[in-house]
Amino acid sequence: MPDPAPAQISVDLSGQTALVTGASRGIGRAIALALARCGAKVACVARDAAKLQETVAAIASAGGTALAVACDVTKRESVDEAVTKVTTDWGRLDIVVNNAGITRDTLLPRMSDEHFDDVIATNLRGTFLFTRAATLVMMGQRYGRIINISSVSGIRGNKGQSNYSASKAGIIGFTQSVALELAGRNITVNAVAPGFIETEMTSVLGDEFKDEARKHIPAKRLGQPEDVAECVVFLASRAASYITGQVMTVDGGMTV
C-alpha cells in the first residue's frame, strides 16, 4: 500500500505559464498536475509527445490548460524550439521546472563512458539548456521562477550512482551560481532535492527493499511524487519571492 500523499497547499498561479520537463510520469507528472491545479497553463515536455497525453488529458479533465511538447533536453536546438513554442503560443514563460532525469546505475569500475555521458547530458546539460533559454525570456519580463530537481544523492552521494550523483551535485552548484546572476531581475532560482520517492522507477525494487528503506528514513515513510510537487508549487509562488539559491530537501529527514 503506497504511503499517503501530502495535503495540497493553496497558491494562485492564474495567468502564469509553466514548463515542466520529464512530465510524462512520476515526479514530473505530479508537478505538472499541481501547477495546473493552481491555475497555471502548463507545457509538458518529454522526448515522446505521445507519452505526455495522459498528463495533458488529466490536466484538461480537471479544467486546466496544458500543451504537450516533444523535446530532446540534451539538444540546444530542440530546447530553444520548445521555449519558443511556449512563448509564441502563450506570450510569456513564468515558471520552469527542470525535472527530466535518467539513471544508469553501476559501480565505477563497470561504468562505461556512455553511462556517464548520457546521465550528465540529460540531467545536467538539459538543466543548463532550458535555464539559459528561459532566462532570456524571463529577463525581458523581469519575472521568473526556475526550479531545478536535484537529489539527496547530489548532497551526500550513493554507491553505484557516481554519474547520477555528479549530475545532481552539479545542478546544485549551477542553481546557486545562476541565482546570484538573476536575483536583481526578480528571477528566483532554487533546487529541490528529493529523497526516496515512490515512483514507477522505484516500483521494481519490491516491498522488502522499501520496508528496509523506511527504517533509514526518520519520517518512517517513503515520499510520494506529490510531496515534491507541493514544494515546487511553493517555490513557484509569489510567496517565495525572497527565496533564491536554496536547496530544499524533501526526504523525510534522511539528510539531517
Is 76 a domain residue? yes
Q: Is residue 95 part of a domain?
A: yes
* Helix pair angle (126-141, 162-182), 10° resolution: 10
In a domain? residue 256: no
pLDDT of residue 155: 96
Q: 213-216: long-range contacts (C-beta < 8 A, 24 or more apart)?
A: 216/254
Residue 49 in any domain: the answer is: yes
Residue range 63-113, pLDDT digits in tens: 999 999 999 999 999 999 999 999 999 999 999 999 999 999 999 999 999
Report yes or no on 12 lying in a domain: no
Q: Per the structure, how many domains does the chain have? A: 1
pLDDT digits (tens, 9 = 90+) for 138-161: 999 999 999 999 999 999 988 999
**216 occurs within a structural domain:** yes
Active site residue 164: yes
CA dihedral 139, 18, 101, 78 (to 10 degrees): -70
Name the pLDDT band for 204 (thresholds 50, 70, 90). low
Q: Which residue has the higher pLDDT, 215 or 22?
A: 22
Q: 69 - beta bridge partners? A: 45
Q: Give the residue among 162, 153, 158 at the shortest CA–CA distance from 194.
A: 153
* pLDDT given at position 200: 72
Would you say 24 and 225 are in contact if contact means Cβ atoms under 8 Å apart?
Answer: no
The whole-angstrom separation of Cα 179 and Cα 146 is 9
Give the pLDDT mean for 35-53.
Answer: 95
3 in a domain, yes or no?
A: no
The catalytically annotated residue of 164, 175, 196, 250 is 164
Q: Are 78 and 71 in contact (CB under 8 A)?
A: yes
Q: What is the mean pLDDT of the chain?
A: 94
Are 161 and 103 contacting, i.e. CB atoms less than 8 angstroms apart?
A: yes
- 26 pLDDT tier (thresholds 50, 70, 90): very high
**Which pLDDT score, from 0 to 100, does residue 215 have?**
85
59-68, long-range: CB < 8 A, 24+ apart? 59/32, 59/33, 62/33, 62/36, 62/37, 64/36, 64/37, 64/39, 65/36, 65/41, 66/32, 66/36, 66/41, 66/42, 67/41, 67/42, 67/43, 68/44
Nearest to 229 by CA among 20, 1, 87: 20
Query: What is the model's pLDDT at position 143?
Result: 98
Q: What does each C-alpha distance from 52 to 32, 42, 47, 220 come to in angstroms?
A: 11, 12, 9, 32
State the average pLDDT over residues 20-41: 97
The CATH number linked to 69 is 3.40.50.720
Domain hosting 91: range is 17-250
Q: Is residue 234 part of a domain?
A: yes
